[in-house]
Each structure stands twice: as C-alpha cells, then as structure tokens.
Amino acid sequence: MEKNHDLIKVDEKSGIPLIGIDFIGIIDRGTNIIEVKPITTCNLKCKYCFVSAGDYRTNFIIDSNYLIKKLEEIVKIKGINDIEIHIAPYGESLLYPYLFDLIKSLRRINGIKVISMQTNGLLLDNEKVKNLEKAGLDRINVSLNTLDEELAKKLSNFHDYDIEKLLKNINLLLSSRIDLLIAPVWFPKINDEDIEDIIKFVINIRQQGFSDKKVQIGIQKYLTYKTGRKLKNVRPKSWDYFYSQLAKLERKYGIKLKLGPFDFGIHKCPRAFNLVLRKGDILNVEIVSKGRYPRECIGKIDENHGIKVLLKKHLQFNQDIVGRRLRVKVIKANYKDNIITAISQD
C-alpha cells in the first residue's frame, strides 16, 4: 500500500519479507538480541548520519501485527528465555505510530526479557515517557553528543534543537522505571571536550543516587559509510586509537566506558533463519517494491528473506517491474546479519 507515492506500508499483503534488508524489518545476528527497524522517517537530518536518515525519496512503515507475528516465530525457534528486542530504526523510533502497541505486544511474548529502543530524545515528553513505561520498555538509548546547544544544532542540522528540553526529558526518564543509556558519538577534534562534559554529567547523575544500571554511558566511535552523510574535515580514527582514548578517560574519571557484550548480557545463540549466499552468486528474485531511492528496489528470495536490489545506472525504478522476476548478482553478503545486496543483471 502506498500513500502519496512516498510512504509504503509493509504488511503481509505487501509481499515484502522482514529479514534480509538493512533499512527495514528484523535483524538477527545470531545472538539473543534481535534488532527491529519498523520505520524509516526521522525528525532530523544529522550531518554525520551513516544511513542518511531523513533524505529518503520513499519511506517505509511496518504494520505492528506483521512484525509481532514474525518475532513470535523467531523467538520460538531460538528457544531461549533471555531475548532482548532492540528497536533501532534507520530513523526515529518515536515517529512510529504503533510504538506503544508494539512494546505491549512484545511484553506478552514468552522468552523476551528486555525491550529497548534508540531515540534522539527530542520528541519525548511526560505523556510519552509514562506510556513507554506502562507499555513495558526496559531501557532507552538517547543520542546526546554535546551539552552545547549551538554545536548540537550544527551536528543535527536542526536550528530548533533544544538542549534544555532534552535534559528535561532525561530527567523524566530518571523519574521512571526505564533505564537510561546516554550514547554520544565521539567526533575527533569536534566534540572532544563535550565528551568529557557528558561523562561528568553522567557521574553527577550517579552521585544523586542513581545506579550504574539505571544510568549508563556508551560512547560510540564515529563511522562513515559510502551511502551515509559525513562531517567535513573529520576523519574517523582507528578502533585501537578509540579504545586507547576511552581507557585514558576511564583512568581520569574512574568510570567504566569500554562496554562490551557482557555488559548487556549478550551471548551467541542460533539464528532463526539462515541464508547462505556469497558475493558473486546469481539469483532470480521477484521484485515486490521500490526502495528508498530511484535506483533501489526490494526483491523477495522466499517468504522470510528479502534482498535489496540496485538497478544499473541507466535504469530507474518503474512500477511495471513489480511482480516481475529479475536476474541479480549478489554484491554484498553480510553473513553476520543475513543482509544481502544485489545488482540487477537484466
């Protein structure tokens, strides 16, 4: 179903599978954490966004019942009782209109222990925090890259960015049963001092009586991708350098900053569905939808697996190809999360 030719509703009737596509659906990396991407719209166009959220020509929204049905199946196949569902769209979680219903439905699935989500936090308010708490959200990860409003406006490319409002929203979360993880991205030479300010901010909150579990800090390394937006004149550092800098800050402030799988209870377990494809493989797939951009579309490998298909440079998506089978060549096969990208050969 399409609305105004730029919003596609993904439900069972759409024919769009929920596994295999990077920007929408479900990602199972063979651990007890299942990532859910229910929407692609965003209220910001951050200058550093590695997925270019907010710039898509076509956006997607998944019917919550369709998601729940597939997640119930996945959880049952995994057969463990400590699964975390992490809502982490290529966009903003709070723009998903079925968010509270989704969380409530997830809470009723046996085997799901933790429900978490990512947000930039700007759309939170007292009512939303209460509804998230009532629905059963366990943890919320809030993007906070600086306490300086002018720098925040610059990084987010949003002139109305309101740091004071965001800090009030953080206080609302502290007063709720929802755990908080503050997740800044460290941009070398751009927000070096700001990262230290945020560390001191977290320490100050903990000194008010909040536990390490209630308030965590997870500093993220700045990453760039070919299709993402990049900050001018900012080069990502190596992982070794990043962790060495975190170690220095740990010693300086006496706070744990290097978080790993153990800190979130992550462990390996079988994938519910596995698709063995290699770079260079040739497939015949059914085209079921256009994608986010004119040369992108979504193919269907089987009932569970979709595939992102890029059309050759001289082609653009045409509605006439929906329902047709195209011969495609796999150009990226991420075995860790079953995300597959191919290019058309016809």
Mind listing the pLDDT tens digit for each residue in 158-202? 999 999 999 999 999 999 999 999 999 999 999 999 999 999 999
CB atoms within 10 A of CB 245: 18
Choose the weakest-confidence range: 77-91, 117-131, 318-332.
Answer: 318-332
Residue keyed to tokens 């987010």: 156
Tell me the pLDDT band of 3, cut-offs 50, 70 and 90: very low
Domain boundaries, given as residue ranges, for the chain: 2-264, 282-344
Q: Kindly report the pTM of this predicted structure.
A: 0.94
- Do the domains 2-264 and 282-344 sit in the same CATH topology, yes or no? no
Tell me the pLDDT band of 4, cut-offs 50, 70 and 90: very low
Fold of 282-344: OB fold (Dihydrolipoamide Acetyltransferase, E2P) (2.40.50)
Q: What is the pLDDT of residues 36-67, one digit of tens each?
A: 999 999 999 999 999 999 999 999 999 999 99
Alpha carbon of 131 to those of 6, 32, 122, 127, 208: distances in Å? 29, 26, 16, 6, 25
| The predicted structure's pLDDT at residue 329 | 95
Tell me: pLDDT of 138 over 50.
Answer: yes
- pLDDT cut 70: percent of the chain above it: 98
The CA distance from 235 to 239, in Å, is 13
- As beta bridge partners, residue 9 has 61
Name the E strands within 109-186.
112-119, 139-142, 179-182, 185-186
Give mean pLDDT, residues 236-242: 96
Considering the domain delimited by 2-264, tell me its CATH architecture: Alpha-Beta Barrel (3.20)
The CA distance from 53 to 46, in Å, is 8
Task: Supply angle C-alpha 215, 119, 65, rounded to 5.
Answer: 115
Give mean pLDDT, residues 255-259: 95
Mean confidence (pLDDT) of the chain: 94
